[in-house]
Structure 1
Amino acid sequence: MIRRIILILVILIIAEVYFYQAIKTLTSNSYILSGYWLLNFLLFAGIIGGVLLTRSGRVSQAALTSLLTVFLSVAIPKLAASPIMLIEDFTRLFRGFPPRNIYVSEFAIAFALCIFAIVLFGLTRGKHFYRIRKETLHFPDLPEAFDGFTITQISDIHVGSFTDKKGVEKGVTLANEQQSDLLLFTGDLVNHKASEMDDWIETFAQLNAHYGKYSVLGNHDYGDYIRWENPSAKAINLERLKAIHREMGFRLLLNESVQLEKDGQSIALIGVENWGKGGFHQYGDIRKATSGLSLDSFKVLLSHDPSHWDEVNTNFDQRIHLTLAGHTHGMQLGVELFGFKWSPIQYFYKNWAGLYNQEGKYLYVNRGFGYHGLKGRIGVWPEITVLTLRRSG
């Protein structure tokens, strides 16, 4: 983890140096060049100071998040433009390093401005730029009654980040318009506290599906990332959050399973509490959740953190046909075009967005309905997933 963070910092520094070269090529004005470095220093110092003061409790997490958002909105265009300057340097290597071409520098800066426009869209409208992503999954042992059965999955609502009720309601409407048989939510309803839901219960209670709504908890739902007056206050908060799931019409699965019945046949829906690698709590108990299930039953697992999928597949003696997860948000930042996808999160999570298949056992990682940390989404848009289960011959 530390090595990856150091690598990211090195890349940011290299991008900063190259972008400065483009500016220096276009102007020799000392005030502009000095002002460029001064603004960068103030922003970097603000982030370092914000991190230290946030840990001491003297600055709010929201203030630090705002600083990081400003930093990324400036850094991302520079990162995108720096390869242009790098390519120019590669050609200069074979030409005896002549002065930089002014047109290349102009192009690099113009490209950075275009990327900045995309970033600006992501930080404003992008947070509610919901995308419907559909997948059809085939299983030879799917009960015939469930051939064509549809599931809508949402994940990582993070309601404490929302400020635009109409934008959120648009997402809820889109989810309902899919008219799926089943609606599943894979955790992180709030950022920290159950009270964040006070003005949103009615909104999310509008979600509906013929065979019901089921949910699990995510790592943020336990209140592990803020200070509480005492352990009792934290426990009361968690119980209140569980009650909110019921008030919204969701059946919260806590290391347990239920049978979904259709035309005399059934599939098992399993829900575990949060289980994650890399320092995340491991409250989930897959063995407890599947106790009493027959080995040949068709199983769908809700598990917030996709890192749990590897654990289930390698160290569990029952076949889990389909696992639904979230957690990564696709880092709310990346590129997804024409089948290509990239995000910095892929250097931390092997399975970070979309569909994965391991010997006929599927994992789908939802990119998240809401946002947290970065106040928006850039390139990795909020997602409503629709999965269709088909019986293969």
Structure 2
Amino acid sequence: MSTRNIDPNIPLLTTVLLAIDAYVFYALSHGMKNLPRKNLLGLIYIIGMAFGYVGFYFLVQNFTIHPLESTYFRNFFIGFFFAFLVFKVVLVSFFLLEDTIRTSILFIRQSLKAFRKSPQKVKLYSRRKFVRQIGLTAAAIPFTSMIYGVAKGKYNFKVRNLNMTFNNLPKSFNGFKIVQISDIHSGSFDDIYAIREAIDLINDQNPDVVLFTGDLVNYDAREIKPFVEEFKRLKPKVGTYSVLGNHDYGDYKSWNTEQEKSDNNELLKEFHKEMNFNLLNNEAVILYQGNDKISIVGVENWGKPPFPQNGDLDMAVLGVEDVPFKVLMSHDPTHWNKKVIDHPTHFDLTLSGHTHGMQFGVEIPGFKWSPVKYLYPEWAGLYEKKNQFLYVNRGFGYIGFPGRVGILPEITLINLQSPLA
């Protein structure tokens, strides 16, 4: 099958976008009749539309042709498309509300006219200036935030420190440092220097291990190739361990043959080796400090359909059942709720990613919110059930919208503490 087949939904989506533009432009142009620079404002809107459709074209390309790498130029226009779309949707909500009220008032007046048999002509009252101003102000806030998220937010890496005490952590592992990263999505990157700085930031944490919890690429293993040398620079004291995420199986790209897809999956594993990432596919390793030991367990992706359910906890824990402390790497936090918590093997700490925090939300001290919370109960940060912990990383990279607003890219530093020390 050709990778250039166009999704049949694209023409429908294009029609919807054109309808939104026609409605917003008509509403704005009638509200700008008395403005001194109405022609200039109209031109600005038309230019914004043009930029948006260029971005839409690039976005369609990303989901049909699946380019192996991105550019700043391409990502800017895709980001502008999303930002301008949100701008228009906010305006539409204001204008639709006003139009509903205007139409209702016209209907009531028409009914009263008929009842009174009045000869007076009934007109639809014009749009109110303050509604237009409030709508434009409300729409400008997410628009500017999203443009900033494209320009700066997507590489504004934040180190989140977490000190965690476990009664069963062996004494020798007191102060053991884990750095978790997740969801690299290398095919989306457009700035290798930003990635270089992020790798330096990870190394600055002086980790004992780096744990990567899946989604190295978007669609194709070759996306990581330009960044292999950068990730090879990771220097944990013990090693780097990794698992697969749902994007790593090549399921989101149409391949000419099953063999081609299989070759891609083998190539991805080779890139893990080249970067010194020890890939754990339903298996575990034991780490020793003197006579003490802990285990790092890694499973393949397990999520709610249509996401693959390749994770096998029973297979993964073979040979490490007697290890007193276990860290599980599982890409999708759904796995924790559905399988991990009630599994016969006790996993002290599970590390996941997958949600990206939707790359959009609000995080202030004491409050965090993102639309993704309505899909995933555990979507960012630390959770506890039945004396087991889950940490969901907000993601290292990005996909779809090439930016981050409020939910910044994350490097997690977990300091293990033992009360026995």
The match for 2:357 is 330
> Shift in Å at residue 341 of structure 1?
1.6
1:256 corresponds to 2:283: yes
Query: In structure 2, which of residues 86, 92, 102 is the aligned counterpart of residue 76 of structure 1?
Result: 86
Query: In structure 2, which of residues 319, 322, 339 is the aligned counterpart of residue 292 of structure 1?
Result: 319
1:225-260 Cα distance to aligned partner (Å, 9 max, x none): 112221112112211211111111121111100111
1:159 corresponds to 2:209: no
The alpha-carbon distance between structure 1 residues 111 and 236, as it changes in their structure 2 partners (threshold 3 A), is same
The match for 1:309 is 336
The alpha-carbon distance between structure 1 residues 132 and 336, as it changes in their structure 2 partners (threshold 3 A), is same
The match for 2:116 is none
> Shift in Å at residue 283 of structure 1?
1.2
The alpha-carbon distance between structure 1 residues 141 and 34, as it changes in their structure 2 partners (threshold 3 A), is same
The match for 2:32 is 27
Checking the alignment, whether the CA contact within 8 Å between 2:341 and 2:388 is kept in structure 1 is no
In 2, distance between residues paired with 1:114 and 1:103? 17
Structure 1 stretch displaced more, 267-276 or 370-379: 370-379
Gaps of 5+ in 2: 1-16, 100-124
The TM-score normalised by the length of structure 2 is 0.76
The alpha-carbon distance between structure 1 residues 266 and 37, as it changes in their structure 2 partners (threshold 3 A), is same
The match for 2:104 is none
Matches within 5 A, 1:186-265: 186-265=213-292
> Shift in Å at residue 173 of structure 1?
0.8
Structure 1 stretch displaced more, 279-288 or 18-27: 18-27
1:56-76 Cα distance to aligned partner (Å, 9 max, x none): x58979899887643420243
1:125 corresponds to 2:158: no
The match for 2:298 is 271
In 1, distance between residues paired with 2:247 and 2:284? 22
In 2, distance between residues paired with 1:130 and 1:353? 15
1:51-107 Cα distance to aligned partner (Å, 9 max, x none): 6x988x589798998876434202434667899999999xxxxxxxx9987557535
SS at match of 2:178: strand
Q: Which residue type is aligned with residue 388 of structure 2?
A: K
1:135 corresponds to 2:166: no
The match for 2:143 is 116
In 1, distance between residues paired with 2:67 and 2:221? 19
Q: Which residue type is aligned with residue 270 of structure 2?
A: A
> Shift in Å at residue 114 of structure 1?
4.0
Q: Which residue type is aligned with residue 183 of structure 1?
A: V
1:347-393 Cα distance to aligned partner (Å, 9 max, x none): 21111111111122111111111111111212211110011112247
Matches within 5 A, 1:81-96: none
In 2, distance between residues paired with 1:343 and 1:182? 30
Kindly report the root-mean-square deviation, in angstroms, between the aligned alpha carbons of the 2 structures: 4.1
1:191-239 Cα distance to aligned partner (Å, 9 max, x none): 1222222221111000111121111111111111112221112112211
1:340 corresponds to 2:367: yes
SS at match of 2:399: coil
Checking the alignment, whether the CA contact within 8 Å between 2:353 and 2:393 is kept in structure 1 is yes
In 1, distance between residues paired with 2:254 and 2:417? 47
The alpha-carbon distance between structure 1 residues 99 and 138, as it changes in their structure 2 partners (threshold 3 A), is farther
The alpha-carbon distance between structure 1 residues 22 and 148, as it changes in their structure 2 partners (threshold 3 A), is farther
The match for 1:7 is none
The match for 1:370 is 397
The alpha-carbon distance between structure 1 residues 84 and 264, as it changes in their structure 2 partners (threshold 3 A), is farther
Checking the alignment, whether the CA contact within 8 Å between 1:145 and 1:265 is kept in structure 2 is yes
The alpha-carbon distance between structure 1 residues 36 and 142, as it changes in their structure 2 partners (threshold 3 A), is same
In 2, distance between residues paired with 1:119 and 1:254? 37
Checking the alignment, whether the CA contact within 8 Å between 1:25 and 1:102 is kept in structure 2 is no
SS at match of 2:179: strand
The match for 1:93 is none
Query: In structure 1, which of residues 160, 173, 182 is the aligned counterpart of residue 200 of structure 2?
Result: 173
SS at match of 1:388: strand
In 1, distance between residues paired with 2:213 and 2:30? 50
In 1, distance between residues paired with 2:399 and 2:58? 21
> Shift in Å at residue 311 of structure 1?
2.2
In 2, distance between residues paired with 1:60 and 1:294? 43
The alpha-carbon distance between structure 1 residues 246 and 18, as it changes in their structure 2 partners (threshold 3 A), is same
Q: Which residue type is aligned with residue 74 of structure 1?
A: F
The alpha-carbon distance between structure 1 residues 297 and 20, as it changes in their structure 2 partners (threshold 3 A), is farther
The alpha-carbon distance between structure 1 residues 36 and 165, as it changes in their structure 2 partners (threshold 3 A), is closer
The alpha-carbon distance between structure 1 residues 240 and 320, as it changes in their structure 2 partners (threshold 3 A), is same
> Shift in Å at residue 340 of structure 1?
1.7
Number of aligned positions between the proteins:
377
Among the aligned pairs, what percent are the same residue?
A: 41
SS at match of 1:199: helix
Checking the alignment, whether the CA contact within 8 Å between 1:355 and 1:362 is kept in structure 2 is yes
The match for 1:355 is 382
The alpha-carbon distance between structure 1 residues 392 and 24, as it changes in their structure 2 partners (threshold 3 A), is farther
Of structures 1 and 2, the larger Rg is shown by: 2
SS at match of 1:368: coil
In 2, distance between residues paired with 1:351 and 1:133? 17
SS at match of 2:405: coil
Gaps of 5+ in 1: 1-11, 90-97
Q: Which residue type is aligned with residue 248 of structure 1?
A: M
> Shift in Å at residue 34 of structure 1?
12
The match for 2:12 is none
